[in-house]
Amino acid sequence: MRASLIGIVFLLFSQPVWSAAKIEHWQTAQGSRVYYVHTEGLPMVDIQVSFDAGSARDGSQFGIAALTSALLDTGAGEWNADEIAKRFESVGANVGAGISDDMAWVSLRTLTDKKLFDKALETLQVMLAKPTFNEADFQREKNRTLAGLKQREESPAELAHIAFSNAVYGDHPYAHPSDGVIETVAGFSANDLREFYKKYYVAANAMVVIVGDLSKEQAEKTAQSLVAELPAGQKPEPLPEVAMPIKASQRHIDFPSSQTHVLVGMPGTYRKDPDYFSLYVGNHILGGAVLVSRLFNEVREKRGLAYSASSSFVPMFRKGPFVASLQTRNDQTQKALEVLNKTLVDFINEGPTEAELTAAKKNITGGFAMRFDTNKELANYVSMIGFYELPLDYLNTFQQKVEQVTVASIKDAFKRHIDPQLLQTITLGGAPAKK
C-alpha cells in the first residue's frame, strides 16, 4: 500500500521533470526553421545545421551530395583546411559533416564558455556560408572518395546492401548508395559541387537544432548568425513517391566470403505514416528488439545459424526500407533464408501474441528515458522531429502512442505494408542459394 503510493508520487514528480524535453521552435528572418532545447548540467552544447540535400538530391550525379558535404571543412572564407581544423580543435570543439538519403548536416559540439564558443561558432558560420571548393582540395577529396568506393568492393556487407537498395528502389533517388559510385564520382568537377551547394545550402532549405546549456536568447542569436549569410533561396520540390516493386525477386551475387549475407525486404514506411507506431512496435517483436526478438530466437537461439539476425523499418521522407537480414556460413544459406522467410510470413499472417505485445510495450515504454539520456541523443531526436516536421510533442506522446498499439493494429499495418509477394531478396556470398 505504501509502496504504491510512493510510486504514484514518484511518477507525478518525475514525468514532467525530464519528459520536458521541451522543444521550442521558431523561424529566423531568412526563413530557416530553428529547434531548441535547453539542457543543464554540463557546460556544453550540440548544434546541427541541416539541409534537404542528402543523396536523394544527387540526380544522376550519384555521390555529389556526399562529396559536397566532405568539402565544407577543407576551405572557407580566408581559411584552408588546416586553419579551419585548428580553429575548432584549439577550443576543444568537435565538428562533423555528413549526409543520409534525405539530409545533409553539419554538426558542432562545443563548450559554452564564451570565448571558446564564439570561436567555434564563427568558424562554423564561415564554413557554411563561404566554402571555397578550390580545385586542389576538390581533387584530393575526390581521390579519397574514389579510394573509399574501391575499398567498398572488399566488403560483402556493403555490396549486399547496395544490391538490396537497387532491387528495392529501382530508379527512385533512394536506390543508389549515398557515397555514389566510381563511374559518376570520377566525372565530377569542382564546379558541379558549387552548383549543388548553391542550390541546396540556402536559408529556406536550412534547419538549425540547438540542444544544450545556452539560454534562449543565446540560442536565437546563434541560429540567426549561422544562417544569416546564406542566400534565402528556396526549398526543393518534395522527393517523388516510391513505386512499389511489381513482383518478388531473388538475386544471388557470388563473392569469395566465408559467409553469405542475406537481405529480404521492400519499401516500408515513411516518417509521418499513421501506421508508424504499429509497424514500429510490431517490428520490435519480429526482429527489432535486441537479444529477444522472434528472428533472433528462431535464427540464433534455436538454431545457431547466425551471429546477428534482425529486421528494421527505416522511416524516411518517403518510404524507407523494411529489411530483415542475417549472415550465415555459405552452405547453410538456404536453410537460414527459409527460417527467416517463415518467421516473417508467419508474423505477417498471424501477428504477435498478446503476451509478446505486452512484453514489447513494457520494453519500449520502460526504457523510454534511455532513448535520449545524453545530450547527443536528444539532439538527434530533435533533429529528426524538426527535419520531418513531426509534432513538437512527439517525445511526450511517444509512450502513449506505443500503448495504443494493439495486436489487430499490428496485423493490419503489416498486411498493408509488407506483402510477401513483393519481397526482394539478395544473397551475396560464396555459394548460390538454390530456390
Partner 1 sequence: MNNRLLFAILLCLPAFSSSAETKVSERILGNGLKVLVQEDHRSPVVVSQVWYKVGSSYEPGGITGLSHMLEHMMFKGTDKHPAGEFSRIIAENGGDENAFTGQDYTAYFQTMDKSRLDVSFELEADRMRNLHLLADELKKELQVVTEERRMRTDDKPRAKMQEYFMAMAHTNSPYRNPVIGWPADIANYTVEDLQAWYQRWYAPNNATLVVVGDVEPKAVFDLAEKYFGALKTSEIKPLKPQTEVEQIGVREMTIKLPAKLPYIVMGYKVPSLKTAEKEWEAYALEVLAGVLDGGNSARLASRLVRGKQIAVSAGAGYDLTSRLSDLFTLEATPAEGKTVWDLQSALKDEVVKLQNELVSDEELQRIKAQVLASDIYQRDSMFYQAMQLGMTETVGLGWPTVDEYVGKVNQVTAEQVRDVARKYLIKDHLNIAYLEPQEIKENKASPTIQGEHDAR
342-381: which residues touch partner 1 (CB under 8 A)? Answer: 359, 362-370, 372-376
Per DSSP (E only), the strands in 152-258 are 206-212, 249-254
Q: Show contacts with partner 1 in window 414-433 (CB under 8 A).
A: 430-431
Nearest approach, Cβ of residue 418 and partner 1 (Å): 23
Beta-bridge partners for 322: 266, 313
Nearer to partner 1, 92 or 391 (CB): 92
Output the CA angle 77-204-271, nearest 5 degrees.
120
- The answer to the question of residue 274 lying near partner 1 (CB under 8 A) is no
C-alpha cell read off for 60: 544522376
Read off the amino acid at residue 369: A
Minimum Å distance from CB 371 to partner 1?
10
Cα-to-chain-centroid distance, residue 389: 15
| One of 90, 191, 215, 349 touching partner 1 (CB under 8 A) | 90
Closer residue to partner 1 in complex, CB, 50/375 = 375
Residue of the chain from 31, 81, 181, 401 that contacts partner 1 (CB under 8 A): 81
CB of 79 to partner 1, least distance (A): 11
Query: Which residues, listed in sequence order, are joined to residue 76 by a DSSP beta bridge?
Result: 79, 131
Residue 357 · residue 285 · CB < 8 Å? yes
382 touches partner 1 (CB under 8 A) = no
Residues 243-262 that bind partner 1 (CB under 8 A): 254-259
The only residue of 33, 38, 109, 417 in contact with partner 1, by rule CB under 8 A: 109
Site string for partner 1, 282-321 (x = CB under 8 A): -------xxxx----x--xxxxxxxxx-------------
Nearer to partner 1, 122 or 373 (CB): 373
Q: How many CB atoms lie within 10 A of CB 370?
A: 9
Torsion angle defined by CA atoms of residues 151, 152, 155 and 156, in that order, rounded to the nearest 10 degrees: -140
Min separation Cβ 52 and partner 1, Å = 27
Among 156, 233, 265, 287, binds partner 1 (CB under 8 A): 156
The three three-digit cell numbers of residue 64, written as one number? 555529389
Kindly state the smallest distance separating residue 28's Cβ from partner 1, in Å: 27
Cell 496485423 -> residue:
411
Least gap, CB of 355 to partner 1 (angstroms): 10
Does the protein bind partner 1 through residue 240 (CB under 8 A)?
no
Q: Which residues are CB-neighbours of 363 under 8 A, at least 6 positions away?
A: 284, 289, 292
Pick the closest to residue 301 from 355, 339, 257 (CA basis). Answer: 339
Smallest separation, CB 358 to partner 1 (Å): 8
Measure Cα distances from 295 to 98, 132, 291 in Å.
32, 49, 9
Furthest-apart CA pair in the chain: how many Å? 74
Q: Per CB under 8 A, which of residues 172..201 are in contact with partner 1?
A: none
Kindly indicate which of the ranges 83-91, 202-210, 262-270, 385-393 contains the residues binding partner 1, using the contact rule CB under 8 A.
Answer: 83-91
Q: Does 403 bind partner 1 (CB under 8 A)?
A: no
Least spacing, CB of residue 46 vs partner 1, in Å: 9
Q: What cell was used for 206?
A: 536550412
Strand-pair category, 424-429 with 249-254? parallel
